[in-house]
Structure 1
Amino acid sequence: MSDPLSKMMRMPAKRLPASEVPPPQPEVEDMAQSMAELQDKQDTSIIQIKGDIDLHESAQGIWVQIQDFFEAGSLFQLAIILGLSSLAYTISVMWQKKFRKLVDEAEKPIFSETGKLWIRRVNRVFFPAILAVFLLTCTQVAAWLSWPADLLRIAMNLAVAGTVIRFISTLIQSRVIAKWVAGVIWAIAALQILGWWGPTTSVLDSIQFGIGTNKISLLTVIKGLFYFVLFLWTATILSRVSEKHVKRIEEMTPSLRVLLTKLIRISLMVAAFLLGLNAIGVDLTSFAILGGAIGVGIGFGLQKVVSNFVSGIILLLDRSIKPGDVIAVEGSFGWVNTLGARYVSIIQRDGREHLIPNELLITEKVENWSFSNNDVRIPIKVGVSYNSDVRKAMELCLEAAVEEPRVKQFPKPVVRLTGFGDSAVDLEIRGWINDPVNGIGNIVSDVLLRVWDKFHENGIEIPYPQRDLHLRTLPADMMAHLKADVKNDLRQEMAAEAQAKN
């Protein structure tokens, strides 16, 4: 006979309809949430206690190491470290002297400027790098012979840190940033040597703060900043290297070179930013929506900046303005030095550099003297007296223009009579040049100086402004007053002269 209880267990369970299933009680949900928060607090407390215990144990270990330092084995390690340091320093000095002698005695340059720069960087890290290799070898030998090597490991870590710091400081141009980087590397090396690296990371990981439903630790923030700086710095170096290589490509036009370098720089910066986000665990798919919203906000807030950037891209694509072009815009005349992301640099003949926004070059009128070609016609105005031979003066002006080396002989220069002025007959010398980048005022001055010499040699008069004054008949009383005033002025002048002689 079967047991009634077993029959009930074998019976299939009846499933209630969805409409009859009771909804979850709010009290149960609040209780579950409270339990979860309590569990998180307990985990955080455990991590903090563990970090404190690790720090305490590390401090005790350091005290033991200080006591062991004065033992015979430690003094022997210290002697090895001093000997290896002297040997590494001697080798580095000999290498630097040999390299300098090789470069100085060479008849032709052995290395380019970039090669010399990298050699100087290697010279700076040569001593700590050799010392690190020597100490690493001694550490491995000591481990193989089961000898104590604690001080050797510490010295090796310091040598490696010094090598990294010296090499990075040669790559960073800013001294302030280089000092900050050196301080961070020395701090990491000190934590590794003292055995505090693990406890420190545990404490930093236990310090958390919430952003919405997510929790981020202080360690994650520090890692994120490190990755961002590292990737952006790497992208900057790569963009500079690529820019140098692009400038060496002679087949490219100047505008295409600038456009390509800008695209490479922007691509590297965006890639560095995305890699930094990915390194700290940010989901890039969710960031895409946020990035779109941020882009819209930036577009409204930075309309002028975005407009100048887009205008710069348009200038590079249509090649209406290129580096080296001679342009005139809003009273600024000179040649284009650089095409930037926000502005165009124009250098005038007097050395002043004007920064013209890219948007202005798109929306305003711009005179490009070298858009299709470099040929420019220069007008030079000259005036001669009405008493002079005008035809002879025109021949002399033409000779002066032909003798100027910068004036092209085809099309030939010409001289035109442009009008009859108040004091002179107006002439104009018209000549073509194909190097406006070398200046306009200097060639005008040279031609006018030749005209001056030729006019004096051939008796051509250059007039000065003059006016004829015609006096009509005046009334008798006014004429009498004028004569009296003139006589008084003459008497006063004569009296003053006599007094001065006495």
Structure 2
Amino acid sequence: MSPDPFADFVASLQAFIAGGLNLAHSLMQPGWRQYQIIILILVAVLSWGLHHMSSNWVQSWVRSQEGWAKWQLRMIVQIKRRLGLIWFVLISGAIYLVMQNITWPSRSYLIGIFSTLAAIWVCIAFATRLVRNRPMRRLVTWALWIYATLNSLNLVDDVSVFLDSLAVTIGEFRLSALTVLTAVVAIGLLFAIARIVSQTTAATIRKNEDISPSMQVLAVKGVQITLYGIAFFVGVKSVGIDLTGLAVLSGAIGVGLGFGLQKVVSNLVSGVIILLDKSIKPGDVISLGETFGWIQTLGARYASVVTRDGKEYLIPNEDLITGQVVNWSHSDDFVRLDIYFGTAYDDDPHLVRKLAVDACQGVNRVLQGRAPVCHIVGFGDSSVDYILRFWIRDPTGGLTNIRGNVYLALWDTFKENGISIPFPQREVKMLPDSQLALHRAKRDES
């Protein structure tokens, strides 16, 4: 390596600029270089027109199709956006192959360079879609595009020497701009591969019915953490970065984060405990305070609970561990519901109990295998009080609606059979005039 990489890079850059100026001067003169530029301009214009024509056709064709998966639609959108570049690659590539066979190779080398660059750009645009994070995807895309362009122009070595000269050295630790860029690209690609593998593994785990839902979530999280961790360390090691020097610094940072993020760590540990003891799993119906709904997802920090009215509550995992949680479907899906009602004292309680049970059995969602029961629970001020107990097996379908249906069935049945539902009554007793005057006198004296 030269003792002054920057000077070498400047010299290479000056030579490249001089070559570019010579090329531009030669393009001003009639000849095959000028003809190639004219051909490329015509191909670009033709590709632009074909892009608009074919994009309308693709859009109409996609609208006429049904049942497409999301990834297929996304792929069509990406193809539609790059139809102009694809047409340019196809047309310029065909022209380059024809000219290579019918004339001197030097008369088509510019067309070949631009066709190759366009093809590489198309491939990079589709390959980087595997990187889900948008900023990371853009960074990897631009890095690969720049590398492909420099490689086609034979400037990779000179630029690499220059970037490697931009370095920071701390003791034996040396970090250059080239190392950082290489690490970012390598980690981005490895993360994309890890994401594909983790998604495939997660789909396989979720299809296994022998694994409980909570263990499925735990296994998927474990696979993701393992794969992404391996991708990061492999990417860092592949570019020659020594992580030994960062061990002490990372330990100090870990201690500081441990004190500052106690709640976060507590929620993470609570989430692991929930997944291990299987006390709560996706699909369970729970009650926590005034919140009633079913578990939609179990995250690393919180659990998503969706209520019947469509609200989604993000409950910290620590609250699920330390608080009192009613899991309506923990061991099984059977749930017993109680409703209270009263009838008049003139009504036969034996008939009331029979009618109540019959009415309840005729309501949908009420289990027939576990027959409803009705009991007298007391003699009230104006009614005989009863409790009606029945079982359901689908708490995810709601509890208020089934109670309302049972109450409505009781109302209809009691109306048909002359059973009255009393309500509190008050008697107003009018005092004679003498007693009223005496009452007023006593009130005035007091």
TM category, shorter: 0.7 to 0.9
Q: Which residue of 1 aligns with 2:437?
A: 476
Structure 2 vs 1, CA of residues 426 and 477 (structure 1 numbering), >3 Å: closer, same or farther? closer
**Is 1:360 aligned to residue 323 of structure 2?**
no
| Paired AA for residue 181 in structure 2 | I
Deviations along 1:384-422, one digit per CA (max 9) or x if unpaired, are 123433332222211211111211122210111111223
- The structural deviation recorded for 1:291 is 4.8
| Pairing of 1:187-226 with structure 2 (within 5 A) | 187-188=146-147, 191-192=150-151, 197-226=156-185
| Pairing of 1:155-194 with structure 2 (within 5 A) | 155-168=114-127, 170-171=129-130, 183-188=142-147, 191-192=150-151
What is the DSSP-based 3-state SS (H/G/I as helix, E as strand, rest coil) of the residue aligned with 1:258? helix
Q: Which residue of 2 aligns with 1:388?
A: 347
| Pairing of 1:38-437 with structure 2 (within 5 A) | 43=3, 46-70=4-28, 71-78=30-37, 81=40, 114=71, 128=85, 132=89, 138=96, 142=100, 145-168=104-127, 170-171=129-130, 183-188=142-147, 191-192=150-151, 197-284=156-243, 291-292=250-251, 294-437=253-396
User: Does the aligned pair in 2 maintain the 1:396–1:454 contact within 8 Å?
Assistant: yes
Structure 2 vs 1, CA of residues 465 and 172 (structure 1 numbering), >3 Å: closer, same or farther? farther
Q: What fraction of aligned residue pairs are identical, expressed as a percent?
A: 35
Structure 2 vs 1, CA of residues 99 and 126 (structure 1 numbering), >3 Å: closer, same or farther? same
Whole-angstrom distance in 1 between the partners of 2:136 and 2:244 = 34
Deviations along 1:223-258, one digit per CA (max 9) or x if unpaired, are 233333333344334333432333233443222221
The farther-off stretch of 91-100 and 286-295 is 91-100
Where does the alignment leave 5 or more consecutive residues of structure 1 unmatched?
A: 1-39, 483-502
Q: Which residue of 1 aligns with 2:412?
A: 453
User: Does the aligned pair in 1 maintain the 2:47–2:85 contact within 8 Å?
Assistant: no
- The structural deviation recorded for 1:350 is 1.2
User: Does the aligned pair in 1 maintain the 2:173–2:245 contact within 8 Å?
Assistant: no
Whole-angstrom distance in 1 between the partners of 2:358 and 2:47 = 79
User: Does the aligned pair in 2 maintain the 1:254–1:322 contact within 8 Å?
Assistant: yes
Structure 2 vs 1, CA of residues 238 and 100 (structure 1 numbering), >3 Å: closer, same or farther? farther
Q: Which residue of 2 aligns with 1:500?
A: none
User: Does the aligned pair in 2 maintain the 1:342–1:358 contact within 8 Å?
Assistant: yes
Aligned match for 1:467, one of 426, 435, 438: 426
Structure 2 vs 1, CA of residues 242 and 114 (structure 1 numbering), >3 Å: closer, same or farther? farther
- The structural deviation recorded for 1:293 is 5.0
Whole-angstrom distance in 2 between the partners of 1:345 and 1:95 = 41
User: Does the aligned pair in 2 maintain the 1:128–1:163 contact within 8 Å?
Assistant: yes
User: Does the aligned pair in 2 maintain the 1:125–1:167 contact within 8 Å?
Assistant: no
Q: Which residue of 2 aligns with 1:33?
A: none
User: Does the aligned pair in 2 maintain the 1:124–1:166 contact within 8 Å?
Assistant: no
User: Does the aligned pair in 2 maintain the 1:52–1:199 contact within 8 Å?
Assistant: no
- The structural deviation recorded for 1:220 is 2.1
- The structural deviation recorded for 1:424 is 2.1
Whole-angstrom distance in 2 between the partners of 1:247 and 1:395 = 47
The farther-off stretch of 337-346 and 287-296 is 287-296
| Paired AA for residue 60 in structure 1 | A
- The structural deviation recorded for 1:465 is 2.3
Q: Which residue of 2 aligns with 1:26?
A: none
Q: Which residue of 2 aligns with 1:486?
A: none
| Paired AA for residue 242 in structure 2 | D
Structure 2 vs 1, CA of residues 194 and 346 (structure 1 numbering), >3 Å: closer, same or farther? same
| Paired AA for residue 360 in structure 1 | D
What is the DSSP-based 3-state SS (H/G/I as helix, E as strand, rest coil) of the residue aligned with 2:106? coil
- The structural deviation recorded for 1:191 is 4.5
Deviations along 1:269-317, one digit per CA (max 9) or x if unpaired, are 1112212321331234555565555444443332222222222222222
Structure 2 vs 1, CA of residues 140 and 200 (structure 1 numbering), >3 Å: closer, same or farther? farther
Whole-angstrom distance in 1 between the partners of 2:399 and 2:108 = 77
- The structural deviation recorded for 1:260 is 1.6
User: Does the aligned pair in 2 maintain the 1:58–1:194 contact within 8 Å?
Assistant: no
Whole-angstrom distance in 1 between the partners of 2:58 and 2:307 = 48
Whole-angstrom distance in 1 between the partners of 2:206 and 2:80 = 29
The farther-off stretch of 297-306 and 194-203 is 194-203
Whole-angstrom distance in 2 between the partners of 1:214 and 1:180 = 25
Whole-angstrom distance in 2 between the partners of 1:203 and 1:142 = 36
- The structural deviation recorded for 1:63 is 0.2
Equivalent pairs, count: 438
Deviations along 1:475-496, one digit per CA (max 9) or x if unpaired, are 73654899xxxxxxxxxxxxxx
User: Does the aligned pair in 1 maintain the 2:99–2:108 contact within 8 Å?
Assistant: no
TM-score, normalising length: structure 2 = 0.82
Q: CA RMSD in A?
A: 4.0
Where does the alignment leave 5 or more consecutive residues of structure 2 unmatched?
A: none
Q: Which residue of 2 aligns with 1:488?
A: none
- The structural deviation recorded for 1:324 is 1.0
The farther-off stretch of 143-152 and 411-420 is 143-152
Structure 2 vs 1, CA of residues 170 and 210 (structure 1 numbering), >3 Å: closer, same or farther? closer
- The structural deviation recorded for 1:134 is 6.6
| Paired AA for residue 279 in structure 1 | S
- The structural deviation recorded for 1:175 is 6.6
Deviations along 1:152-194, one digit per CA (max 9) or x if unpaired, are 2431243124303531465466777666655555544554566
Whole-angstrom distance in 2 between the partners of 1:96 and 1:256 = 48
What is the DSSP-based 3-state SS (H/G/I as helix, E as strand, rest coil) of the residue aligned with 1:323? coil
TM-score, normalising length: structure 1 = 0.74
What is the DSSP-based 3-state SS (H/G/I as helix, E as strand, rest coil) of the residue aligned with 1:147? helix
**Is 1:443 aligned to residue 398 of structure 2?**
no
| Paired AA for residue 164 in structure 1 | C
Structure 2 vs 1, CA of residues 344 and 99 (structure 1 numbering), >3 Å: closer, same or farther? closer
Whole-angstrom distance in 2 between the partners of 1:96 and 1:173 = 28
Whole-angstrom distance in 1 between the partners of 2:60 and 2:200 = 27
- The structural deviation recorded for 1:81 is 4.1
